[in-house]
Amino acid sequence: MTLAPVLCLVPAYKPDRLALEASLASLLRQTQPTDIMLIDDGSPEPIERLHGSLAGVEILRLENNGGITRALSRGVEEALRRGYGHVARLDVGDIAYPERMARQLIHMQANPHLGLLGCRARVHDETGKTLFIHGVTGGPDAVAAYLKRNAAFKHSSFMLSAEALRRYGNYDTRYRLAQDYELALRLSQHLGVDCLDTVLIDYEQSATGLSARHRQTQLRMRLKAQWQHKSFDGPSAGGMLRTLATLAVPAALAARLSQRNWAMKKRPA
């Protein structure tokens, strides 16, 4: 079997049927040939049994629910074992625009120093209303500086170099709920990490999502990653202080402040 240049990992545990179908359909519409691996993270009722074989989608079934970090790690292991050159990511409920994989792959191939590339995201609520555009642009230096504070782009926009994963490691299961942030921060210390100044995904911000339900744990894991990858400079220390301060801020207030901050930033043309 001929491999596509990109394998996109879609981790799932008891996914909503309509959300799953919408996300997978967006990947099947890519202008760049993309292989799709749906990782069933030990759902009580196997996804394949509930949804059928899902034409064009490979299902990797994990017998026990080990959490999203382990599921992603297992998917990366498979991608590297099979020889894929790039590994992408999409969460159930998020939508990849048709040209997403093509534009990211072209940019990564033209810039082989990059280990990770994201893109800007249209962040919306459960009704579909646009809240803001998320994603730090300005090149690898700007992205690396921002990563010392927080995530520079949404995890559903990740495209990773397989060579970077081989050299600098897979998702780290010690950083539950902050695995994408830790990986981006780690890679930024060795390779370029960048974000396309183009909106190529829709990202749902849900009050019932993992980040909202486990906010305190995620922030503590973010702080752990910042400490692990600290550098002795102002931005690194400032990032840790910012995370500590955020831990003390009520979730609703923190969400409003973040939304207002991103809404004030320049939108891409």
Which of 269, 251, 260 minimizes the C-alpha distance to 131? 260
Domains of the chain: residue spans and CATH: 6-263 (3.90.550.10)
Q: Whole-prediction pTM value?
A: 0.92
Query: What is the reported pLDDT for 1?
Result: 63
195/109 Cα distance (integer angstroms): 14
Q: What is residue 233's DSSP assignment?
A: S
Chain segment 115-129, per-residue pLDDT in tens: 999 999 999 999 999
Can you tell me the distance from the alpha carbon of 24 to that of 38, in angstroms, rounded to the nearest whole number?
Answer: 9
Confidence of residue 269 (pLDDT cuts 50, 70, 90): very low
